[in-house]
Each structure stands twice: as C-alpha cells, then as structure tokens.
Amino acid sequence: MFKSFISSLLCAFLLCSCGPSYPKETLVKDIEKLVKKESGCDTKVYLVKDTVYLDMPMEQIVSSKNEVFSEAIIALQNGVFAITRIALSSDADIKIIVITAFDPQYNVSLRMIQNIEDVKSYFYQRISRGDYEQRQLIEIEGPDTARQSILDKHYVSQEEFVGRLIVSQINILGKTNPFLATVINSLNLKYDDIDNDKIIITAKGTYSLVSETLIKKLIHEELDRDIKKYKLFTIKYVRILSKEGTVVLEVPAVLN
C-alpha cells in the first residue's frame, strides 16, 4: 500500500510540471473538485495560513474488530495525492496538509498529516525511503475526541508538527512492535501543546517506573532526530504530564 501511495505521488510530480496552475484564490474549490473527480468523495477543504485541511466523511472507518479499513487509508492517501499535485502547481504557500477521514456519527477519526517539503525531498532523493517513513504522522481519535478534533481548524506550525510526529511515531511502535506494545499502548500518549521551548505531551493511561525508563529513551531518540531533521533548535524539552496535569517527566534535547 505504501509503494502504491509513493507511486501516485511520483506521478503527481511529473504531472505538475505540465499541468494547469491553481491560483490561491480558488485553491479550496480546486482541491474539492479534484478529490471529487479522482475519488468520488464529497469533501470539505479549509485553508488556515499555510495549513490545508481536507475533511473526508466516510460510512465506515474501522471494522467490527476495531481494525482500520484499507479503504480509509487509501482515501487519505488519495487526498494527499490531490493536494500535493495542486500545491506543486499553485502560487499558494502550502506547508502542512491535514487530512481526516471520519464516520457520520463521529465515533472515530483517522488523520494523516503531511509536510509538503518531506514529499518533495523524497521525490528529489534528498531523503531515503526509510527517512520518509519516519516522517509519517497518523492520528486516531475515538468517540470522546473525534468531533472536537475535526472541528478544530488552526494553523499548524513546524513546532507543532514535530511534537505530533514524535507522539505518532512512538504510538506506531506500540502497534507494530510486540515487545513495546504493552508499555506504549498503556500510556496512551497524546500531543497537547507547544509552550515556548517545550513540547507538551499527556500520558492519559497507566504510568509506571518501567514505562518511564522506556518512554524517556524513545522520546529522547525521536526528539533529537526530528529537531535536527527540521532544524527546530528552539525546542529544548519534551514535558510529559499525567492525566491530572502534573509533570511526571521531562526529556531534554541533546544537540551536538
């Protein structure tokens, strides 16, 4: 599925060199029309500074076994393809894409956030496939938070992108690595905010000394890697709060 997604993006780059220009004045309608034409989905697009939001309502996002349907992933990938294609042949300054698939009852939402520069860097072979995969940002919200997260349309800074990327990459480890799954999934990490030079993350689940040692190591590695990738040297710490709001851990960045 990932290979198919990348192939589509490569086609987008080739097409954008000879395709039509999409002026920023009609950008929102152009994206909605292209997504409708290529996927048949009725969507809603919002532009907040250089952040583009694409909302994709779908009948079903997860199965009875609580597994994400492949159709939902494909829909998100098609959305990235459409916006990337337009962004590369537009005079609009687009930096962040936020695409969300959700069911009509807002029981679950599946969100993919993409940095346009990451896509361009992969295409022009400035970064490897492995590096590109480490820049993938996926978030899943349940019935308690899905509606609120969809309605929240705000400018996503590079600092916020990195904060959410750190949480996303660690949560992905919890889904794909059986040795880390129990500890990571029990923590239920959520991105919270940027406070000056700190990324704030909330651990809404169970916290222990064992999980503290592991999560400190994982965050330290991801924090240093992402700061250097995106050159965000103003970020000095990751602060983890308990669900009650107390500070349980601070992980400093080591920038050599």
d(CA 181, CA 189): 13
Per-residue confidence (pLDDT) for residue 84, from 0 to 100: 83
Per-residue confidence (pLDDT) for residue 255, from 0 to 100: 63
Per-residue confidence (pLDDT) for residue 53, from 0 to 100: 97
Going by C-alpha positions, the residue among 125, 111, 122 that lies closest to residue 80 is: 111
Burial class (CB in 10 A: 0-12, 13-18, 19+), 14: exposed
Going by C-alpha positions, the residue among 215, 213, 221 that lies closest to residue 203 is: 215
Phi, psi of 239 (to 5 degrees): -110, 130
d(CA 109, CA 54): 13
d(CA 60, CA 105): 10
The gap from C-alpha 125 to its chain's centroid, in whole angstroms, comes to 21
Per-residue confidence (pLDDT) for residue 193, from 0 to 100: 95
Tell me how many degrees the CA angle 62-60-40 measures, rounded to the nearest 5: 130
Over the chain (256 residues), what is each successive 10-residue block's mean pLDDT? 54 52 89 87 93 90 63 80 84 92 90 89 86 89 92 96 95 87 88 94 82 88 93 93 90 79
Q: Residue 17, Cβ neighbours under 10 Å: how many?
A: 8
Per-residue confidence (pLDDT) for residue 20, from 0 to 100: 46
- Under a CB-based contact definition with an 8 Å cutoff, are residues 82 and 52 in contact? no
Domains of the chain with CATH codes = 1-154 (no CATH), 157-256 (3.30.300)
Per-residue confidence (pLDDT) for residue 76, from 0 to 100: 83
- Under a CB-based contact definition with an 8 Å cutoff, are residues 133 and 105 in contact? no
Going by C-alpha positions, the residue among 34, 20, 160 that lies closest to residue 98 is: 160
Per-residue confidence (pLDDT) for residue 62, from 0 to 100: 66
Going by C-alpha positions, the residue among 64, 96, 57 that lies closest to residue 80 is: 96
Going by C-alpha positions, the residue among 19, 20, 44, 18 that lies closest to residue 31 is: 44
* The CA-based dihedral angle spanning residues 146, 148, 150, 64, taken in that order and rounded to the nearest 10 degrees: 10
Per-residue confidence (pLDDT) for residue 241, from 0 to 100: 93
Its pTM stands at 0.86
